[in-house]
């Protein structure tokens, strides 16, 4: 029987050190490994870019938590995305992505990989017809080989039906990639819903403490895993040992953290709805969110991210973003501390003026694990300034 999520989070890839009995696997802060003769390796370890026991622990843990056979850890979410696309696609291939993917993902695909010959189209992933048409159309030079979706999306909190997209991808002979950063593997497992590959920015909920950058790829297809492993080794955008170790440590508490992130966010979203300054609250846990029922089906809970739009427009959103004391104004998300973000000038500045531009009256909250009464009091004093 497969063990429960929290048991896997704490024990997968985390066996006590065989030489000393250290309950926590040690941090192997090294770039190379001694050989007992030319090419005679101990346990297969040779050179840090290729393999490192600390990174192996994390990769095992990531695969176990997403329900995949292979896990790969990288220096950042974008490094993972770049390795994935270069490993599985060739110049001429076409990617169809959501029209509200993370700004950095859009920039990577649209400005870096386009030079390498990968074309793309950005569409509304909630519109089946639009997705099918874009997939069928392909690019100038070639066919659609990859569909890329984020659900919930950043920062519009749109929910997309992963199983339905997997069906479209299968029919078209394309791969479905799900960026599962916002949900984390505790709340949603795209591979079980039919996706081919899951990517994460582990910088966010998986690490969970805003102290380590990283990215991950998880999948179950051995042939694709071999190609990804080769690019990981040949290019070398791997997670450093310390970052990997911090991420394994953070990941052990993912389940309890996500439960509290979700309950704090639910309470704050409901409170925001009562405020006259607020035009719209984007949180899938609210019954009037267009993706509420779908999210209730494909996610365990609704997560810790909320976007809010203000009636007072850009000025109101900026004022709130700069007026909180418990929420810290900063990029990133998914840590234990609450963060406030003004996406159109911060995380999503790179998509300003494109079809992915974020409304200027929107702020994004990453609801942390502080006492929810303090978070609401902080938002209350900020909104009272409007």
Ligand X SMILES: *Cc1c(COP(=O)(O)O)cnc(C)c1O
Q: Looking at the annotation, which residues are catalytic? A: 49, 102, 179, 204
Q: Nearest approach, Cβ of 215 to ligand X (angstroms)?
A: 5
Residue (101 or 278) nearer to ligand X, CB:
101
d(Cα 181, Cα 294) in Å, to the nearest integer? Answer: 18
Burial of 197 (0-12, 13-18, 19+ CB in 10 A): buried
Residue nearest to ligand X (CB): 77
Q: Name the residue among 80, 79, 150, 146 with its Cα closest to residue 119.
A: 146
Estimate the share of the chain in helix, then strand, then coil, as percent rounded to the nearest 5: 40, 15, 45
Phi–psi pair at 171, nearest 5 degrees = -60, -30
Q: Name the residue among 150, 149, 99, 151 with its Cα closest to residue 122.
A: 99
d(Cα 127, Cα 177) in Å, to the nearest integer? Answer: 17
d(Cα 117, Cα 113) in Å, to the nearest integer? Answer: 7
Q: Nearest approach, Cβ of 217 to ligand X (angstroms)?
A: 12
Strand, coil or helix: 345? coil
Q: Nearest approach, Cβ of 260 to ligand X (angstroms)?
A: 20
Residue (25 or 250) nearer to ligand X, CB:
250
Q: Nearest approach, Cβ of 183 to ligand X (angstroms)?
A: 10
Q: What is the DSSP string of 212-256?
A: ---EEEEE--HHHHHHHHHHHHHH--BPPHHHHHHHHHHHTTHHH
Phi–psi pair at 312, nearest 5 degrees = -80, 10
Binding site for ligand X (CB under 6 A): 76-78, 102, 104-105, 150, 154, 179, 181-182, 201, 203-204, 213, 215
Residue (78 or 89) nearer to ligand X, CB:
78
For residue 364, what are the β-bridge partners? 307, 341
Q: Nearest approach, Cβ of 53 to ligand X (angstroms)?
A: 23
Residue (278 or 358) nearer to ligand X, CB:
358
Residue (138 or 215) nearer to ligand X, CB:
215
Residue (102 or 302) nearer to ligand X, CB:
102
Q: Nearest approach, Cβ of 110 to ligand X (angstroms)?
A: 14
Q: Name the residue among 249, 220, 212 with its Cα closest to residue 61.
A: 249
d(Cα 311, Cα 325) in Å, to the nearest integer? Answer: 22
């Amino acid at each position: 029987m497969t063990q429960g999520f929290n048991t896997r989070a704490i024990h997968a890839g985390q066996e006590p050190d065989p030489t000393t009995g250290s309950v926590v696997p040690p941090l192997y802060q090294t770039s190379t490994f001694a050989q007992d003769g030319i090419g005679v390796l101990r346990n297969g370890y040779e050179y840090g870019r290729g393999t490192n026991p600390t990174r192996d622990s994390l990769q095992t843990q990531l695969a176990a938590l997403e329900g995949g056979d292979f896990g790969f850890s990288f220096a950042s979410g974008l490094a993972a995305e770049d390795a994935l696309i270069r490993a599985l696609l060739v110049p001429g291939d076409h990617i169809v992505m959501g029209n509200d993917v993370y700004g950095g993902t859009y920039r990577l695909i649209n400005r870096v990989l386009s030079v390498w010959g990968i074309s793309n189209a950005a569409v509304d992933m909630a519109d089946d017809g639009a997705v099918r048409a874009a997939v069928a159309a392909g690019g100038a030079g070639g066919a659609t080989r990859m569909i890329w979706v984020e659900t919930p999306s950043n920062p519009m909190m749109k929910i997309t039906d992963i199983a339905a997209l997997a069906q479209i991808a299968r029919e078209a002979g394309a791969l479905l990639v799900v960026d599962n950063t916002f949900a984390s593997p505790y709340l949603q497992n795209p591979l079980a819903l039919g996706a081919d590959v899951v990517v994460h920015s582990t910088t966010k909920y998986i690490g969970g403490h805003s102290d380590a950058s990283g990215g991950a790829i998880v999948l179950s297809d051995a042939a694709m895993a071999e190609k990804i492993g080769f690019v990981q080794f040949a290019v070398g955008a791997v997670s450093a040992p310390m970052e990997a170790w911090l991420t394994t440590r953070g990941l052990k508490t993912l389940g309890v953290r996500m439960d509290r992130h979700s309950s704090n966010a639910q309470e704050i979203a409901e409170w925001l709805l009562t405020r006259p300054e607020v035009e719209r609250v984007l949180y899938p846990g609210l019954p009037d969110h267009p993706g509420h029922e779908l999210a209730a089906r494909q996610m365990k809970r609704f997560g810790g991210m909320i976007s809010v739009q203000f009636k007072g427009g850009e000025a109101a959103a900026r004022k709130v973003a700069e007026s909180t004391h418990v929420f810290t104004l900063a990029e990133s998300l998914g840590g234990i501390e609450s963060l406030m973000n003004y996406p159109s000038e911060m995380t999503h500045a790179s998509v300003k003026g494109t079809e992915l531009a974020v409304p200027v009256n929107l702020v994004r909250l990453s609801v942390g694990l502080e006492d929810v009464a303090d978070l609401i009091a902080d938002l209350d004093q900020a909104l009272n300034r409007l």
